[in-house]
Amino acid sequence: MNEPSAKKYTRRAFIEVGAAAAVATQVVPGATTAAGKNGGDALPFDDYARHDGLGLAQLVARAEVSAEELLHAAIQRTEQVNPQINAVVQKLYDFAKQEINRGLPDGPFKGVPFLLKDLGIHLAGTPNTYGSLFFKDSIARDTSAVVDRYRQAGLVIFGKTTAPEFGTSGFCESALYGVTRNPWNLRHSPGGSSGGAGAAVAAGIAPMANGSDIGGSIRCPSSCCGLFGLKPSYGRVPLDPEWSEMNTFHALTRSVRDSAALLDISSAGYTDNSFWRAPPAARPFSEEVSRPPGRLRIALVRAPVSEITVHPEVAEALQDAAKLCESLGHFVEESKLPFSVQQVYAAATGVGTEITRWVGQREKELGRSVRPGELSAGIAEMVQENRKISGEDYARGLEALRQCRRMMAKFQIEYDLILSPTQAILPPKASVQDLGAGDLSMDDTNNALAAFTFLYNVTGQPAMSVPLHWSTTGLPVGVMFAGRFGDEAALFRLAAQLEQARPWFGKRAPL
């Protein structure tokens, strides 16, 4: 989720990685961990990594490769690199094989290996831990609507990925699962909170992976891992089970077209749990990637609403992206967003209360209160503080949220898109415990990581991180574009143009 931590109720939700960090990767009963025991052949890794998800599905459709071979390739890659990056923490290998044996639907991603994030996205019968020791034995009783749609599209779910406890940090580490590392440099973090998804895709385990985003949690790890990551408008994808209206589900992908095709699938119709409704798309998003974007009016925003210094290499990446957009015929104009940091933080009141609600539900399920050590100190403090929030405080937060949305809608009358850094700093160290004298503190790091992204969770509009730059030390640096509410189409059209002008698909992490 990676929401700003400057607000009292979300501050210091950090992870304490101690002896409990040695908890082993969970394997669902009956799962097979050794690649050599899965039967059949695997597609060679170079061939597997040469294709995006749609490309792999086309191989299956032409009978050039089987779904079993793709699954075995994904399992082999997991077993090869996961010990280094610690991204896949639930291995659902037997579940995936059973799905294939039952017969996969003839969807656009038939046979493509796929990963779910272990943070509130349910697959019945599998652990649903939120990255927390307090939920380590929690088993999902139902399956989220969006997961059903993934399966109907032919995706083969074979594992779940790490997230920091309740998704509250840009350091992808927890006492339950330990530290997840960035394939581009193992000393650094893949970002949060969908850091396991980012690390797995960047390492070539799968061409794309599910993520959620309540403060930058798709876009920040996409930036850290050199991937494309789009946060849809609220109401575009069903939030099942119930989540804060600031959250949304989608994915981290290597190609723009995979993201567009997957959003077509996950946004196909509303459910009873859809309390927002994004405007219907004019046409499938998968068609938008082949349409010219036209001449866009782009607001260039160099500074966040908070007083956070932008790293020089991040500023360089932003300037380079602005020049690239101008060279493609777009109008780029420097501008400043009309928000104060107090307004944005006030709108975040409900984020911490969401976690408090989860903890309270778990206490009722177990028939007891949470015990010392089952939550990190930061989360435990957050829960205590949020239980003091009055109904009046919560109502004020909702009004601040609505006011921010009105202000953004007015600002974007003049501009089609907003261009900014995805995050204010380069990918941080892998663990909070790795921070040294020259590094920002944990709180300052988390604030810098979410300094630009969080606003668009408040306003509800779509935003994407595009991997157009790498630092002098070889770390990915994303830039972010935000569109008008409901206008993912403009983002996909521009993203496809940028992907063609500055290809990134062939860049691989040096694992």
Please, which residues bridge with residue 111 across strands?
Answer: none
Neighbours of 378 (CB within 10 A): 22
Element (H, E) at 145: helix 145-152
Which of 251, 289, 309 has the alpha carbon at shortest distance from 115?
A: 251
Cα dist from 303 to 315, 421, 423, whole Å: 9, 9, 10
Neighbours of 364 (CB within 10 A): 9
Is there a catalytic annotation at residue 420? Answer: no
Which of 265, 259, 333 has the alpha carbon at shortest distance from 489?
A: 259
Is there a catalytic annotation at residue 376? Answer: no
3-state secondary structure of 450: coil
Find out whether the peptide bond into 241 is cis, omega within 30 degrees of 0: yes
Q: Are 26 and 126 in contact (CB under 8 A)?
A: no
DSSP string, 262-329: HHHHHTSS--TT----PPPPSS-HHHHTTS---S-EEEE--S-SS--PPPHHHHHHHHHHHHHHHHTT
What's the one-letter identity of residue 25?
T
- φ/ψ of 376, rounded to 5, equals -65, 160
Torsion of CA 472, 170, 486, 412, to 10 degrees: -60
DSSP 8-state assignment for residue 483: E
Instruction: Choose the catalytic residue: 117, 160, 231, 429.
Output: 117
Instruction: Choose the catalytic residue: 132, 189, 193, 194.
Output: 193
- CA–CA distance, 25 with 236 (Å, rounded to integer): 33
- CA–CA distance, 312 with 423 (Å, rounded to integer): 12
Strand boundaries in 162-301, DSSP class E? 173-174, 178-179, 208-213, 228-231, 248-253, 297-300
Is there a catalytic annotation at residue 222? Answer: no
Instruction: Choose the catalytic residue: 5, 194, 212, 217.
Output: 217
DSSP string, 14-64: ----SGGGGPPPEE-TT----GGGS-S----HHHHHTS-HHHHHHHHHTTS
Q: Are 155 and 112 in contact (CB under 8 A)?
A: yes
What's the one-letter identity of residue 304?
P
- CA–CA distance, 163 with 177 (Å, rounded to integer): 9
Which residues are catalytic, by number? 117, 193, 217
